[in-house]
Amino acid sequence: KAGVTQTPRYLIKTRGQQVTLSCSPISGHRSVSWYQQTPGQGLQFLFEYFSETQRNKGNFPGRFSGRQFSNSRSEMNVSTLELGDSALYLCASSPGTYVQETQYFGPGTRLLVL
Amino acid sequence: SQQGEEDPQALSIQEGENATMNCSYKTSINNLQWYRQNSGRGLVHLILIRSNEREKHSGRLRVTLDTSKKSSSLLITASRAADTASYFCGWNYGQNFVFGPGTRLSVLP
């Protein structure tokens, strides 16, 4: 099976812009989670989707949003970008119904906000 | 903080030596997982240990879990240069998933 794919791999934006990142999970996986990784805060849980519904959300402002499509592909959107949004954004899919089960990560999208 | 701790933050060893990393968490868990990350890439799942298990092995990896102390350790035996990476433990926090701050392991040839 193909692994988790994320597009784009690299992105440069300026403050105030918005960005949309895409994630295609492993075929058959219905749970998709998103994480933000920064040197200062480490890996932080953004949200998790299962069957097109957001089940869980981490402690991030409303500028961070996401959605999941019927084919389990997911997108996350960040509006009104701030310099502190520069990070590696990781998507993970899981075959089970719980975020606590084994997660399979994509290579990440590295976002730089100038 | 919900994140717990990992120690050491960084570890440098010679090839062939063993590496031990420790993880402490703060909540009750269903399971605890260990992941590896090579230089800013995606995480790779290494091993999952359930709360009713005390020890688990996978190849050169040995993980222990002590739920009474809310701690886990990852032992990599006979390390190789290819083991150079950051290692993270992770666990459920309510309905979310939390990672520790990680241990950076350098294996010198």
pLDDT tens, B44-68? 999 999 999 999 999 999 999 999 9
* Lowest-pLDDT range of A97-101, B89-93, B102-106: A97-101
Closest in A48, A56, A107 to B42, CB measured: A107
Residue with tokens 């520069």: A86
* Six-digit token string for A73: 């592909």
Spatial CA neighbour of B88 closest among B51, B63, B108: B63
Residue of A nearest to B34 (CA): A102
Give the phi and the psi of residue B83 in degrees, each rounded to 5: -80, -10
A75–chain B nearest CA distance, Å: 17
Q: Would you place residue A98 in the very low, low, confident or very high pLDDT band (cuts 50, 70, 90)?
A: low
Q: What residues of chain A lie within 8 A of the CB of B39, using their CB?
A: none
Are B99 and A42 a contacting pair at CB < 8 A? yes
- If you average pLDDT over residues B19-36, what whole number do you get? 93
DSSP string, B52-87: T-SEEEETTEEEEEETTTTEEEEEE-S--GGG-EEE
Per-residue pLDDT for A108 more than 70?
yes
Top residue of A4, A43, A53 to mutate, by most chain B CBs within 10 Å, is: A43
Q: Is A106–B42 a contact, with Cβ atoms under 8 angstroms apart?
A: yes
Distance CA B72, CA B60 (A): 17
User: Across-strand partners of B106?
Assistant: B12
